[in-house]
Structure 1
Amino acid sequence: MSLRPIINNLLDKLTAYTKLPIFPVILLIFIITGIYYKLVIFGKIPLPADLLVASYSPWFDYYKLPVQNPLISDAFSQFFLWKHLAVDIFKSGNWPLWNPYSFMGTPLLATYHSATLYPPNLLLLLPKYWGWGLFIFSQTLIAALTLNLLLSLWVKSTLARIAGSIIFALGGLMTTWLELGTAGHAIAWLPLIIYSIEKFSQTTKFRFFLLLIFSMVLLFLAGNAQITTFSFFIALLYGLFCNFKVSKISHLNLIYLLLAFILMAALVSPQLLPSFELTSKSIRINEGYIGEFNYGLLTTKDAFKFFMADFWGNPVTRNYWGFLNYAETSGFVGSLTLPLLLFSLVYLKKNVKVAFFLLLCLTSLILSFDNPISQFLYRTEIPLLTSSYASRMLFVSVFSISILAAFSLNQIILRKQEGKLIKTVIWSWAAVIGCLLGLLLTYYQFNQIYKSSYAKDVLATYLSRSDLNVPLLIISAKNSLPAFIQYSLVLLIFLIIKISPLKKFDEKKLKFFYILFTLFIILDLSRYFLKFNPFVDQNIIFPEVSEIKILQEKEGVFRVGREHAEILPPNTWIAYNLQTYEGYDPLYLLEYGEFMNFLNLGKFETGGTSRYAELSSNYKSPYLDIANVRYFIATLRDSTKRIPGEHLDSKFTKANYKLIYKGRSFALLENPNALERAYFTPSIEFLKEKQVKKVFEEDKEHDPRKKVFLSESLNLDKVTGKGIVKIVDYSPNKIKLQTSTQQSEVLVLADKFDDGWEVTVDGNPTKIVKANLIFRAIKVPPGKHNIEFYYWPKSFDIGLKLSTFTIILLISSTLIFLKLKRF
């Protein structure tokens, strides 16, 4: 029985199905779900929790695991925790405004990259950690589906749309930033924004006006300021581009688009206004980390990684030897995307759409790579645009390349230009062969010269440099082979098809060839995606261990400190509802950064303030006592300083803290001098902040436990410090206390001061001032009183009212347009 009729029948049916409008959507969902098979089938979660439990005490006493990727710890030390904290606060019926667990308290919603108001966060309501898994999955799926929708306006070929969508969803930083869940989510909405602009410009239908606002709101709430800024300017330029016509309707469209931007800004003002306020007071205004690495501008050799993902190695295989780090500099879009990009430059029919995305691609590459233009731009320090590494412009590069690749493949398929495609494949193949030969010849020549005793000493210095290290050249050669194999297979398959005697089946054979070509792109990018991103068992995501449970069972409100070592890294305390003075965030308050510098160095310095607020050595400090630091966690080491062991760090033994628990590598100590979270101070003095800093730095006899400096007068001459204070309720945005005193006293709450905090005594608003530079203090009249601190910043209040008004306005407008049948 001949297989030819069966194959022809299958191809005919497949062709018929591919013509259905819903087919690309179903196929993309199927492909993305298949790529996430570890989540869908095995229930593994995309989070580098293996790095957490294998690298830090007390978990590494229980878990001996290989670490897949040591590079992406921010996923578990920032974004995962902030989003779950926000959802937990929402579940309690409150806005996620304040994080009480880090930095002695810090704004949560105002921290822009926490993205607490981003609607897909609702997925985190799902049990266990399935919500996080689906949240990350949704990023890839949204990116693929929105680009497919945009391409449906211009690209007829289903295969071309699928290829472009997969390149965008998995290419470059969309993979390496995946588990952070911010930048990828942000740019995933850019295709929908452009689609809305395009459709509104063509039809002026109100539904596309609403869709534009909705998609821009999602962009701004996704939580990455740099990518949001890039995307906003691209949308603005595309809006001008679409309506650059001298006619009334074009001018009117521009007005509508401007109105959409304004309404979007109003809707997201509960996020933007607090974020602008916090940023202006954060360490970010003085942080110069991007300058240390040449602003993150890519080197020429990073261009290889666009089409050979691991040319300079990979952190997963522990052999990366490129510039900066892999996660920030990988622009990989698939080896077979290179021929499509070359086709777009040489053969693609140029029109205004092609010109726009070619120009966008070129501009993004100029701004990503080191050159005089990019150097000038980053030295001017334009807010938002140049606030982080330049390499993050690769998000835009991948976006524009994916569209150009789809345009190219569409023209190749529809106009039967396979010959031109093969030319670009041959060019790419030749380029890879040239790289391979160059690497092998260099390796051979270096070894030949190195064998000479005369040359050994001369070459030693050069061969020790990473870019001339001979063994690493072999890594690059090996990692060039996947691209070489793909190009070779494509050429071989095309050759077989061409020499096949079945001429009447040429068209169907070409369809088969294009399917294989697209499949190679999908498989190549899937390999890149799965190699980089760890999927872990749910039981190792912030697991319960006895050492941490001991702290959780302690009564009262208190803070925990730690040795500056391999223990509970900053922010991870949030998962266990433990409060600390440490934290990790590029947007925490600058004045708190200065205070941490004082704890570490004895001086209130602004320069050198790090996004890591950690105590490095001064574990015995009265300023920790007044911060309610009741417990410390320390490592146990042997005589060679290795973990585990029997010995504490000498700084802890000198501090005379009480040892209350001793494990294999983990010790828990109690600070007997720690004050309560809320207390009455026995002595006060009003001093300006500059004078207080001077006293703290110079007066070594000053005891902050016995005397509190107030930033403003509370009209009290004398206090006794006597009285009773009880914390009745302690929650992120609200703290309730009961007090009893014989006379007017000053109550100190050892939580971070912020202008958004208000306080009432028996329901009556009262004045709140800074105590000892960073804490809160109020005057409490004699007698028994109920005191309530609550956090409700004015910037959020204004934003919430403005957003509510805008929502009402849009609902009313929608009803009007529906009635007029112009929706």
Structure 2
Amino acid sequence: MSKTAATITVIAFLFGSAYGGCFYSIMSLKVLVWFPLLLFLTEKLFKKEEMLYGILIGIVVSVQILAGYLQFALYSIIFSTLYFIVHLCFYHLKDRGFKKSTRIAFFYLIGAFVAFGLSAAQLFATVELSQFSSRQGLGIEFSMLGSYTPLGLIQLLFPRCTFASGGLLYIGILPFFLSLVVVFYKKDRFSWFFIFLTLFSLILAFGEYSPLYAFIIKAIGFYGLRVPAKFLFFTVFSLTILAGYGFDRYCSTSADERQNTRYTKIIFYVSVGAVTTLVIANIILFLGKGFLINFGRNYVEKNIYGKPFHHHSLDVYYDKVDSVHQSLVSNTYIYNPFIISSIVILIISFFVIKYVRRWVSLWGLQFTCIALVIIDLYVFSLFGTGFRGNMAPVKESLKAPGAIEYLQRDTGLHRVYGLIPNKFQDDYSRFLPNYNMYYQISDVGAYSPLVMNDYYKFMEMGGVDDSIWRLEPSLDSLSKDLNLLSLLNVKYIITYEEINDKRVELAYSDEKVNVYRNKGSLPRAFFLSDYKVISDGQEALEYLRSEDNPMDVVVLDKEPVMFRNGSDEQYNNASVEIKDYSPNKVILNITASSNGILVLSDTFYPGWKAFVDLEETEIMKANTVMRAVIIPKGKHIVKFVYDPVPFNYGLRLGLYTLICVPIMIFVSNLKKFKRY
């Protein structure tokens, strides 16, 4: 690939919908940025036939896994391994023979072991967490969520047209035209592979619209990964590579008028077809508004409302149908400035392909193509899908609102709860759980696919989003479940509306939000003498909701050993002082006038160990999600320590692998050292 072709490829990749569009999220880029390097190292492995490159491949894969987005890491591993297998079986085996191909495969396998060893701590911890995930037992419907509709292919020329596509596919109009060139000229092994990868990843991205994707998912029997549209990253990556190859083919075979004519005709028909589709779609959407909205609502009633992972009210879905229709009308409107800009760039791109190369030198053509791609993708960045839409100004975004500053002044151990309905999330984004992490405020809500199933059920009052759907908070659910929030050490409640409940009092108010103080909030750790055993989690939650004072009794999932229920005792017959509190360790001093149970309102999870006066004791599950230990009468030092076995094994394996890597590199290069 020439330097100019490589430049076009890089610009299209960096500022198209894959990278510059912050594909799916910025977190995903921390994984996907390594994918091109994986392919480069694989090529080096084939050319040099040295173990070093197999080890480097393993190191890069481990970095992808440790980056934290395992779904994208898995996809990257699958496609890079597919690249290796195809080139090994169809090219290297033929050219270099069985013995050397086996040697290459062995080096690649070593890289796989290196990747596993270095990332074992992350993998083992993830496997352990997945056993408690709220996504356990999901069906195939979950794996189809976020499929890319085939109608979205019009985005290759008109990126503003979403058509409720579920994703975005755009590399620039001229690069797309150049990628089509490869189809009409002689193809090498790289061209064939990236044509295959483009089509294969696109078919997988179609998800529920693709029989192949459904067949693969059913054959594997694993339904825990959603949003097939994530495969579009590899579609975009492959198209940008093909655009570079297409540019070189286009420049080097200008004398072949027959192929050139066929190619320009295809571009012309594709362009006219896309514009015609756009105009017809806009006319239908505008004139058939009533029919389409009624059709959409009927479709929602029969196929969406009440189905798995669709828990909103019918009115919410009706509003969604209306907003989707309005968005489609706006995004397909022929006089939309962005649609006009796409049409102008489309005409110019066709003009460049058809005529400019005949009138200017090769250097002039190269400059024209690069300039047009830059202008095109700059306009694309204005849509809000590029860096402009994913990165807000730091000073404005991270400045703490008045309510947050008020909460920060309370330095005691406590938690907050944000009663912010879904429809107001954009206006109140700085009061949501993920923002509160930055402000060092402990929030019982969450936005994470890592939410455990027990906690998800406990937080039925709302505020938890496991990235499938968000439990909708409301004043009614708050009134019903305020006892549960008190158990969780929730001292403050943030809301945009007034709360008329004698159990809370207004602590702060401004034009944006109200902050209420929960009068019944329990401390982070508290002592009880009375308990009740309820093994069924849902039954236990109903019991806790029904109690007027949750401090009177702790609900355990099994009978404690060597402890007699002391219902005649009072919960406050002990003093509890937290001496040290950190994510992996909690130390408390406790003085109890009788035997009892110490409850720590932190999550019950494997790996935690408890010690009473240096003697290890059993941790019981309390109130369905918390930790509790039995405390004898007297003064004691209680220590909770997080010491996860799977993670520690993974950490040791990673350390051993780290030690072995330089040794393997040294041994594999002994022959080279002897030569010198």
TM-score, normalised by the number of residues in structure 1: 0.69
Q: Distance in 2 between matches of 1:662 and 1:743?
A: 43
Counterpart mapping for 1:125-274 below 5 A: 155=1, 157-178=2-23, 180-244=25-89, 245=93, 246-274=97-125
Q: Distance in 2 between matches of 1:768 and 1:610?
A: 31
Match of 2:379 in 1: 527
Matching residue's letter, 1:284: R
Please give the secondary structure, in 1, of the residue aligned with 2:536.
Answer: helix
Residue 198 of structure 2 corresponds to residue 361 of structure 1: yes
For residues 15-52 of structure 1, give each alpha carbon's deviation from its aligned partner in whole angstroms, at most 9, with x where no partner exists. Answer: xxxxxxxxxxxxxxxxxxxxxxxxxxxxxxxxxxxxxx
Match of 2:457 in 1: 594
Q: Distance in 1 between matches of 2:346 and 2:189?
A: 31
- Any conservation in 1 of the 2:592–2:633 contact (CA below 8 Å)? yes
- Any conservation in 2 of the 1:220–1:268 contact (CA below 8 Å)? yes
Residue 294 of structure 2 corresponds to residue 433 of structure 1: no
Residue 161 of structure 2 corresponds to residue 311 of structure 1: yes
Residue 170 of structure 2 corresponds to residue 346 of structure 1: no
Please give the secondary structure, in 1, of the residue aligned with 2:520.
Answer: coil
Which blocks of at least 5 consecutive residues in structure 1 are unaligned? 1-154, 313-321, 501-505, 637-647
Deviation at 1:735, TM superposition (A): 1.4
Please give the secondary structure, in 2, of the residue aligned with 1:619.
Answer: helix
Match of 1:619 in 2: 478
Deviation at 1:254, TM superposition (A): 0.8
Match of 1:297 in 2: 147
- Any conservation in 2 of the 1:560–1:629 contact (CA below 8 Å)? yes
Match of 1:584 in 2: 447
Please give the secondary structure, in 2, of the residue aligned with 1:176.
Answer: coil
Counterpart mapping for 1:351-430 below 5 A: 351-369=188-206, 371-374=209-212, 376-377=214-215, 380=218, 382=220, 387-416=225-254, 424-425=263-264, 427-430=266-269
- Any conservation in 1 of the 2:174–2:349 contact (CA below 8 Å)? no
- Within the candidate set 164, 168, 183, 1:323 is matched to 164
Q: What's the Cα RMSD here? A: 3.6
Q: Distance in 1 between matches of 2:177 and 2:467?
A: 47
For residues 683-729 of structure 1, give each alpha carbon's deviation from its aligned partner in whole angstroms, at most 9, with x where no partner exists. Answer: 123x2521772573599457532011223414111444311110112
Q: Distance in 1 between matches of 2:638 and 2:667?
A: 48
Q: Distance in 2 between matches of 1:180 and 1:484?
A: 29
Matching residue's letter, 1:202: K
Q: Distance in 1 between matches of 2:608 and 2:637?
A: 17
- Any conservation in 2 of the 1:193–1:215 contact (CA below 8 Å)? yes
Deviation at 1:680, TM superposition (A): 0.8
Matching residue's letter, 2:536: K
Q: Distance in 1 between matches of 2:444 and 2:517?
A: 16
Q: Distance in 1 between matches of 2:116 and 2:152?
A: 37
Matching residue's letter, 2:402: S
- Any conservation in 2 of the 1:230–1:385 contact (CA below 8 Å)? no
The verdict on how the C-alpha distance between 1:195 and 1:681 changes in structure 2, with shifts beyond 3 A counting, is same
Residue 620 of structure 2 corresponds to residue 769 of structure 1: yes
For residues 126-185 of structure 1, give each alpha carbon's deviation from its aligned partner in whole angstroms, at most 9, with x where no partner exists. Answer: xxxxxxxxxxxxxxxxxxxxxxxxxxxxx2x10111111222222224333358322223
Please give the secondary structure, in 2, of the residue aligned with 1:182.
Answer: helix
Q: Distance in 1 between matches of 2:557 and 2:105?
A: 51
For residues 647-679 of structure 1, give each alpha carbon's deviation from its aligned partner in whole angstroms, at most 9, with x where no partner exists. Answer: x1xxx2134412222322322222221111111
Matching residue's letter, 2:160: D
The verdict on how the C-alpha distance between 1:280 and 1:530 changes in structure 2, with shifts beyond 3 A counting, is farther
For residues 769-811 of structure 1, give each alpha carbon's deviation from its aligned partner in whole angstroms, at most 9, with x where no partner exists. Answer: 1112111111223332222212222121111011001001112
- Name the count of aligned residue pairs: 621
The verdict on how the C-alpha distance between 1:729 and 1:363 changes in structure 2, with shifts beyond 3 A counting, is same
Counterpart mapping for 1:504-515 below 5 A: 509-515=361-367
- Within the candidate set 543, 548, 564, 1:717 is matched to 564
Q: Distance in 1 between matches of 2:462 and 2:392?
A: 37
- Any conservation in 2 of the 1:742–1:782 contact (CA below 8 Å)? yes
- Any conservation in 2 of the 1:587–1:611 contact (CA below 8 Å)? no
Matching residue's letter, 2:130: T
Q: Distance in 1 between matches of 2:380 and 2:242?
A: 21
The verdict on how the C-alpha distance between 1:231 and 1:440 changes in structure 2, with shifts beyond 3 A counting, is closer
Match of 1:540 in 2: 396
Matching residue's letter, 2:161: F
Q: Distance in 2 between matches of 1:476 and 1:385?
A: 43
For residues 87-114 of structure 1, give each alpha carbon's deviation from its aligned partner in whole angstroms, at most 9, with x where no partner exists. Answer: xxxxxxxxxxxxxxxxxxxxxxxxxxxx
For residues 176-202 of structure 1, give each alpha carbon's deviation from its aligned partner in whole angstroms, at most 9, with x where no partner exists. Answer: 335832222322211211211221122
- Any conservation in 2 of the 1:361–1:397 contact (CA below 8 Å)? yes
- Within the candidate set 466, 470, 475, 2:325 is matched to 466
Please give the secondary structure, in 2, of the residue aligned with 1:308.
Answer: coil
Q: Distance in 2 between matches of 1:498 and 1:203?
A: 39
- Within the candidate set 627, 648, 656, 1:797 is matched to 648
Please give the secondary structure, in 1, of the residue aligned with 2:450.
Answer: coil
Matching residue's letter, 2:505: K
Matching residue's letter, 1:278: L
Q: Which has the higher contact order (CA 8 A, sep 6+)?
A: 1
Deviation at 1:521, TM superposition (A): 1.8
Match of 1:279 in 2: 130
Match of 1:316 in 2: none
Deviation at 1:527, TM superposition (A): 2.7
Q: Distance in 2 between matches of 1:522 and 1:735?
A: 55
The verdict on how the C-alpha distance between 1:459 and 1:210 changes in structure 2, with shifts beyond 3 A counting, is closer
Q: Distance in 2 between matches of 1:402 and 1:330?
A: 15
The verdict on how the C-alpha distance between 1:186 and 1:417 changes in structure 2, with shifts beyond 3 A counting, is farther
The verdict on how the C-alpha distance between 1:822 and 1:219 changes in structure 2, with shifts beyond 3 A counting, is farther
Q: Distance in 2 between matches of 1:355 and 1:683?
A: 71
- Any conservation in 2 of the 1:678–1:748 contact (CA below 8 Å)? yes
Please give the secondary structure, in 1, of the residue aligned with 2:500.
Answer: helix
- Any conservation in 1 of the 2:143–2:228 contact (CA below 8 Å)? no
- Any conservation in 2 of the 1:744–1:781 contact (CA below 8 Å)? yes
Matching residue's letter, 2:449: P
Deviation at 1:744, TM superposition (A): 3.0
Matching residue's letter, 2:406: I
The verdict on how the C-alpha distance between 1:691 and 1:557 changes in structure 2, with shifts beyond 3 A counting, is closer
Q: Distance in 2 between matches of 1:456 and 1:354?
A: 45
Matching residue's letter, 2:266: W
Please give the secondary structure, in 1, of the residue aligned with 2:242.
Answer: helix
For residues 740-771 of structure 1, give each alpha carbon's deviation from its aligned partner in whole angstroms, at most 9, with x where no partner exists. Answer: 12333211111111112112223332221111
Which blocks of at least 5 consecutive residues in structure 2 are unaligned? 297-321
The verdict on how the C-alpha distance between 1:237 and 1:724 changes in structure 2, with shifts beyond 3 A counting, is same
- Any conservation in 2 of the 1:584–1:611 contact (CA below 8 Å)? no
